[in-house]
Amino acid sequence: MDTEWSNKNKKMQTLISKEMTFAEGIKLLFELRAQLFEQITSIVKTFPAVAFYQMPFGMGEGNQHTTLAWSLWHLFRIEDIVLHTLILKDEQVLFKDGWLDKTNSPIITTANELDGDAMIDFSEVLNIQVTYEYCKAVMESTNQMLERLQFADLKRTFTTADRERLVASKCVSPEESSVWLIDYWCGKNIAGLIKMPFSRHWIMHVEAMQRIKNKLCQQAKKGVDQIAYCGLSCAHCFLTAWCGSCRTIYNTCSFATCSPDGVCPNTACCKEKGLDGCYECSELYDCKKGFYSLGKDTNAIRAMALFIQKHGKTELLRVLDKLHSKKKFEKIQEILGEEIDQGLKILEEWRK
Ligand code: SF4
Ligand code: SF4
């Protein structure tokens, strides 16, 4: 489990368990949830639609043996059901404002009962952008409840009537894979529900989503040219574990994710000019587009592209292998980035 999130979660649990520090604990819970939701936003905003119905780890035990779409749905359906049907005894977000129709979901359950092909089929029909907005609406309604929550509320437990209400909602499948959830939730008090599903459950599934999207990136990169359009080597890039390369639809390169249309300006320009990369361009040395607009911070990339222009991609990869066996990515960027010609000269010296 991510150490920062896990520590924050533990600290939050300790703080809310004492009246004096309860408010501080709730504040930390908001902070943790916001941080985790940021990860969800980044995945939804940067990954292509097809990514959401892939199951790159295949069938098996563990939260990563799912799809991104399923993870989103499952996480927030559970929160919606627990918050509204169990705790607040009012209407779930899903049944208000046409969310169910808009998400295009064929089910109203937590989706625990889905597996394999059924999970993929469900994920494919789900409207991801709308589902993301639904998740946001659920998160906000939970946050409103948490804002009103008093220390004394933490001890509140649940009755047979609460349990029956959950069953009657038909939001938990009667199948063995799902039905246990009802007893699990009803066996907790509010303090227990803050842990599962309102905090730890988020960490578990956001981490699984990260593993899924990283695996998709690695799969996408297999057999693809390792040199990015700008001249960087994906094989040596510090983002390589999280980025699927600008030569695939899984491009989460830093510049692409910051660009309004999600495409790196260097990639777009090369494609427009019909070039394999900026290293084939006559304007390379003075270009101010995309990565090359950042001056000293990205001089190293220009030096690499200039090196490719003179010696080819294979030679750059060979030199970078040597350099990376001695120094870390950041240090190499720093040394090569001091000055463009100097950076190119250093790369050439490493050819020997
Ligand atoms: S950020 Fe650029 S160089 Fe790094 S892995 Fe992504 S596309 Fe490749
Ligand atoms: S103009 Fe700049 S961004 Fe476009 S291909 Fe040439 S070097 Fe690359």
Ligand 2 binding residues, C-beta < 6 A: 266, 269-270, 273, 275, 278, 281, 283-284, 287, 289-290
Query: Mean pLDDT throughout 56-75?
Result: 96
Handedness of CA 308, 309, 310, 313 (dihedral sign): positive
Is the CB of 301 inside a 6 Å radius of any atom of ligand 1?
Answer: no
Helices in the chain by DSSP H: which ranges? 3-16, 22-46, 68-80, 99-103, 116-125, 128-148, 160-169, 176-186, 190-195, 200-221, 254-258, 265-273, 299-311, 313-326, 329-337, 340-349
Ligand 2 atom with least separation from CA of 269: 4
Instruction: Indicate which ligand has the atom closest to the C-alpha of 286.
Output: 2
Query: Ligand 2 pocket: which of 232, 271, 283 to mutate (most atoms <8 Å of CB)?
Result: 283
Instruction: Indicate which ligand has the atom closest to the C-alpha of 308.
Output: 2
Query: Ligand 1 pocket: which of 214, 218, 234 to mutate (most atoms <8 Å of CB)?
Result: 234
Could you give the 3-state DSSP secondary structure of residue 227? strand
Q: Residue 59: pLDDT above 80?
A: yes
Query: Mean pLDDT throughout 19-32?
Result: 98
* Tokens 């940021």, residue located: 38
CA–CA dist 313, 231 (Å, integer): 9
The domains found in the chain, sorted by start residue, are 3-214 (1.20.120.450), 224-351 (no CATH)
pLDDT band at 256 (very low <50, low <70, confident <90, very high): confident
pLDDT of residue 255: 84
Is the CB of 203 inside a 6 Å radius of any atom of ligand 1?
Answer: no
Instruction: Indicate which ligand has the atom closest to the C-alpha of 247.
Output: 1
pTM of the shown model: 0.92
- Using one digit for the tens of pLDDT, what is the confidence trace for 268-327? 999 999 999 999 999 999 999 999 998 888 899 999 999 999 999 999 999 999 999 998
CB 216 within 8 A of CB 300: no
Q: Residue 71: pLDDT above 90?
A: yes
- Which among 255, 257, 258, 259 is positioned nearest to 231, based on CA atoms? 255
CA–CA dist 346, 334 (Å, integer): 12
pLDDT of residue 330: 87
Q: Residue 58: pLDDT above 90?
A: yes
Rounded to the nearest integer, the mean pLDDT of the chain is 95
pLDDT of residue 261: 81
pLDDT of residue 323: 93
Is the CB of 256 inside a 6 Å radius of any atom of ligand 1?
Answer: no
pLDDT of residue 305: 97
Q: Residue 157: pLDDT above 80?
A: yes
Ligand 2 atom with least separation from CA of 282: 6
pLDDT of residue 177: 95
Ligand 2 atom with least separation from CA of 278: 8
